[in-house]
Amino acid sequence: MHLHTRAFSLHVVFINLLAAITLATHFRGGTISWRPVGGNEVEFFFKMGWTYGLGPGCTESKIGQFVDDPLLNGGSTQNAWKCLQGCTGQPEIQPAHYFCMAASSQEGWEQGQNTFNYTFDQPGLFVVGFEGNAWMRLDNGKGDGDWNVTTTVDLRDRSDIGQPNSSPVSSSQTLYYMQYDCHQELDIPVIDPDGDEVRCYWATGDECKAVCNALPGAHLDSKTCRITFDTTKASNYIPGGFYAVALTIKDYPRTEITLDGSVKKTPTDSLSSVPVQFLIQTPEFNVSCDAKPRFVAPTPAEGSEVLILAGDKLTVHIVADNGNDTSNVTTIDVMGPVRMHQSSLTALPNVQNTFQKTLTWQTTLTDLGEHIVCTRASNERGKSADQRCFTIKIVPDHCRSQPCKNGATCQSITGVLNCQCAPGYTGKHCEIDIDECDPDPCQNGGTCQDHVNAYSCLCVPGFTDKNCST
Ligand SMILES: *[C@@H]1O[C@H](CO)[C@@H](O)[C@H](O)[C@H]1NC(C)=O
Ligand SMILES: *[C@@H]1O[C@H](CO)[C@@H](O)[C@H](O)[C@H]1NC(C)=O
Ligand SMILES: *[C@@H]1O[C@H](CO)[C@@H](O)[C@H](O)[C@H]1NC(C)=O
Ligand SMILES: *[C@@H]1O[C@H](CO)[C@@H](O)[C@H](O)[C@H]1NC(C)=O
Ligand SMILES: *[C@@H]1O[C@H](CO)[C@@H](O)[C@H](O)[C@H]1NC(C)=O
């Protein structure tokens, strides 16, 4: 009996301790973006990272699965995306559960992503955000406090495209390892579906809460979204330290436009903003800054675009070797569209110290558009290759309905229909038989007859040859 009670109280203590840890240090950054899907309906896409075991429940064995561990919510309504401004009250619009994308029990993190639809009752403006009070504790007195990850949504029609804006989309990792005592450059991948000008800024105030200015001595190039810093003692970094980056990314029209035919927006007025918050750890390694794994062909090049026709199956090989470090590659993490499948890591049979993961995606018409994929390769030592991000662009296959007539060759690879007509035909779809009798080639009163890519002349008596000219 005595023993029983003891065990029970121990259990209670354990639960309380866990709750306390949850509240102190679990959030590790996130991002959200959106696009209109018709009416006042919006599709949101988000990604976030948590301390391992204190998030929605992503583990190494659950990659690709939906996880919704109730521990994240603790039964409360706290961990949800809400409409913070522009709605009646502050309604929750989606729980923060997600598809598990990558996790490391050893390194203590998990990350995932999800999409969800929400229909507003008017075109906006709105602020949609995820608020909480347990950003992970960082090593420069930052973190260990409130988080706020917010985006502005405006569904008024743009005069240039005749539909609402789409926000910029970023795909950073939620955790980067950047060696202590090295010069570092980090490019934040961003695309804008409308082709707007995109700028990156350090987040301020309510946009970043406990993690404003949390990367010491860093410079941000607004135009290229490149962050430059030195992970040195002189710049206030420590070996193995944790730091955070909080950015706000905005899109600007390239020419003056109006919203709903009345509200003017010039190229200096932003159309929307999205948050990007993530962690950087600065481990110390007993090797040179240059000794790290690297991506090799046929991995798509940094910043490149992989085109595929909707309906086709995409296959991409991500291949990394040891670079000039001596340690083998042991992990390749891929953050990309949820429907893209990733194989497990395998060693290439015929090439020494070279490892690969294969991505496959049976695309459909609903996948149309651009999707960023970012991948990270790291070795046994824990050193990572330079980040590799590329875009998969899924374009409509205009040839599928066989629009090109009369034996034409159909091409759709850039998403634009191109019918290459057989001789004698013209028109967008080669539907027009070229009239070889116009202008009339027959002379001396001959009658012209049109054929495919040919004509003949019926000559009046006394004249002969093809054009009745003699
Ligand atoms: C959101 O709506 C669009 C258009 O109806 C649909 O194609 C898409 O699958 C929806 N997304 C989700 C996550 O339900
Ligand atoms: C988060 O940011 C939004 C937009 O700036 C603001 O309305 C909201 O009050 C902020 N939340 C907190 C908890 O500060
Ligand atoms: C670091 O490297 C040096 C020489 O390359 C070696 O002598 C030393 O033992 C290494 N230290 C550790 C902790 O691996
Ligand atoms: C490592 O490789 C990079 C290029 O991949 C090269 O610039 C650098 O000099 C190499 N460093 C060492 C220590 O070999
Ligand atoms: C590194 O990988 C190769 C396969 O390419 C394997 O033969 C070798 O044993 C690995 N080295 C270590 C230290 O695991």
**Residues in Cβ contact with 163 at an 8 Å cutoff, skipping those fewer than 6 apart:** 36, 157
What's the mean pLDDT in 1-6? 37
pLDDT at 58 over 80: yes
Q: How many Å lie between the centroid of ligand 3 and the Cα of residue 285? A: 10
Of 220, 219, 208, nearest to 244 by C-alpha is: 208
How many other CB atoms are there within 10 angstroms of residue 164's CB atom? 26
The answer on 329 and 235 residing in a single domain is no
For all residues of the chain together, what is the average pLDDT?
89
Range in 23-32, 61-70, 368-377 the model is least confident about: 23-32
- Cβ of 153 less than 6 Å from ligand 2: no
The answer on 309 and 161 residing in a single domain is no
What's the mean pLDDT in 71-97? 82
Q: Which of 232, 262, 284 is the last residue of a domain?
A: 284
Q: Which of 284, 310, 327 is the last residue of a domain?
A: 284
Does a structural domain hold residue 5? no
Q: Which of 268, 284, 300 is the last residue of a domain?
A: 284
The answer on 184 and 68 residing in a single domain is yes
Q: pTM here?
A: 0.79
Torsion of CA 223, 227, 230, 235, to 10 degrees: 90
pLDDT for the residue numbered 264: 96
Q: How many Å lie between the centroid of ligand 5 and the Cα of residue 328? A: 6
pLDDT for the residue numbered 18: 42
What's the mean pLDDT in 398-413? 86
Q: What is the DSSP letter of 163?
A: S
Report which ligand 2 atom has the smallest distance to the Cα of 84.
7
pLDDT for the residue numbered 45: 93
pLDDT at 20 over 60: no
In order of 48, 97, 103, 105, 298, the CA distances from 111 in angstroms are: 6, 11, 6, 12, 26
Share above pLDDT 70 across residues of the chain, in percent, rounded to a whole number? 93
Does a structural domain hold residue 8? no
The answer on 405 and 388 residing in a single domain is no
Share above pLDDT 90 across residues of the chain, in percent, rounded to a whole number? 67
Does a structural domain hold residue 14? no
CATH code, domain carrying 417: 2.10.25.10
pLDDT at 10 over 70: no
Does a structural domain hold residue 3? no
Report which ligand 2 atom has the smallest distance to the Cα of 85.
7
Q: How many Å lie between the centroid of ligand 5 and the Cα of residue 59? A: 26
Mutate which of 27, 90, 127 to test ligand 2's pocket (most atoms within 8 Å of Cβ)?
A: 127
The answer on 188 and 54 residing in a single domain is yes
Does a structural domain hold residue 468? no
The answer on 235 and 126 residing in a single domain is yes
Q: How many Å lie between the centroid of ligand 2 and the Cα of residue 206? A: 5
- Residues lining ligand 4, judged by CB closer than 6 Å? 288, 290-291, 323-324
pLDDT for the residue numbered 2: 39
Domain range holding 430? 399-458
pLDDT for the residue numbered 258: 97
The predicted-structure confidence for 137-167, as pLDDT tens digits, reads as follows 999 889 988 999 999 999 999 999 999 999 9
pLDDT for the residue numbered 12: 38
pLDDT at 8 over 60: no
Mutate which of 185, 287, 290, 379 to test ligand 4's pocket (most atoms within 8 Å of Cβ)?
A: 290
The answer on 227 and 132 residing in a single domain is yes
The answer on 199 and 156 residing in a single domain is yes
CATH code, domain carrying 162: 2.60.40.60
Range in 68-82, 111-125, 374-388 the model is least confident about: 68-82
Which ligand is nearest the CA of 150, by number? Answer: 2
What's the mean pLDDT in 12-17? 40
Q: Which helix (H) or strand (E) holds 66?
A: strand 66-67
- Cβ of 56 less than 6 Å from ligand 2: no
pLDDT at 75 over 60: no
Range in 132-136, 238-242, 263-267 the model is least confident about: 132-136
Does a structural domain hold residue 12? no
CATH code, domain carrying 346: 2.60.40.10
- Cβ of 83 less than 6 Å from ligand 2: no
Alpha carbon distance 355, 401 (integer Å): 40
pLDDT for the residue numbered 71: 61
pLDDT for the residue numbered 21: 43
Q: Rounded to a whole number, what is the largest CA-CA distance in the chain?
A: 129
Question: Would you call 100 helix, strand, or coil by DSSP?
Answer: strand
The answer on 354 and 272 residing in a single domain is no
Report which ligand 5 atom has the smallest distance to the Cα of 327.
13
Does a structural domain hold residue 153? yes
The answer on 192 and 303 residing in a single domain is no
Mutate which of 319, 327, 328, 350 to test ligand 5's pocket (most atoms within 8 Å of Cβ)?
A: 328
What is the residue with the minimal CA distance to atom 13 of ligand 1? 116
Q: How confident is the model at residue 92 (pLDDT cuts 50, 70, 90)?
A: very high
CB 32 within 8 A of CB 104: no
Alpha carbon distance 240, 139 (integer Å): 9
What's the mean pLDDT in 81-96? 94
The answer on 390 and 403 residing in a single domain is no
Q: How many Å lie between the centroid of ligand 4 and the Cα of residue 323? A: 8
Range in 68-77, 217-226, 398-407 the model is least confident about: 68-77
pLDDT at 197 over 90: yes
Report which ligand 4 atom has the smallest distance to the Cα of 324.
1
pLDDT for the residue numbered 261: 92
Which ligand is nearest the CA of 81, by number? Answer: 2
The predicted-structure confidence for 343-360, as pLDDT tens digits, reads as follows 999 999 999 999 999 999
Number of domains within the chain:
3
Q: How confident is the model at residue 72 (pLDDT cuts 50, 70, 90)?
A: low
Does a structural domain hold residue 71? yes
pLDDT for the residue numbered 107: 86
Q: Which helix (H) or strand (E) holds 6?
A: helix 2-25
| Edge-to-edge strand ranges of the sheet holding 92-95 | 92-95, 80-85, 124-132, 147-154
pLDDT at 34 over 60: yes
Burial of residue 294, with CB atoms counted within 10 A of its CB: 0-12 exposed, 13-18 middle, 19 or more buried: middle
Alpha carbon distance 205, 126 (integer Å): 18
Which of 180-189, 368-377, 413-422 tops mean pLDDT?
Answer: 180-189
Mutate which of 150, 152, 204 to test ligand 2's pocket (most atoms within 8 Å of Cβ)?
A: 150
The answer on 36 and 152 residing in a single domain is yes
Alpha carbon distance 28, 116 (integer Å): 21
pLDDT at 77 over 80: no
What is the residue with the minimal CA distance to atom 8 of ligand 4? 290
Q: How many Å lie between the centroid of ligand 4 and the Cα of residue 386? A: 13
Alpha carbon distance 324, 305 (integer Å): 28
Q: How many Å lie between the centroid of ligand 2 and the Cα of residue 51? A: 23
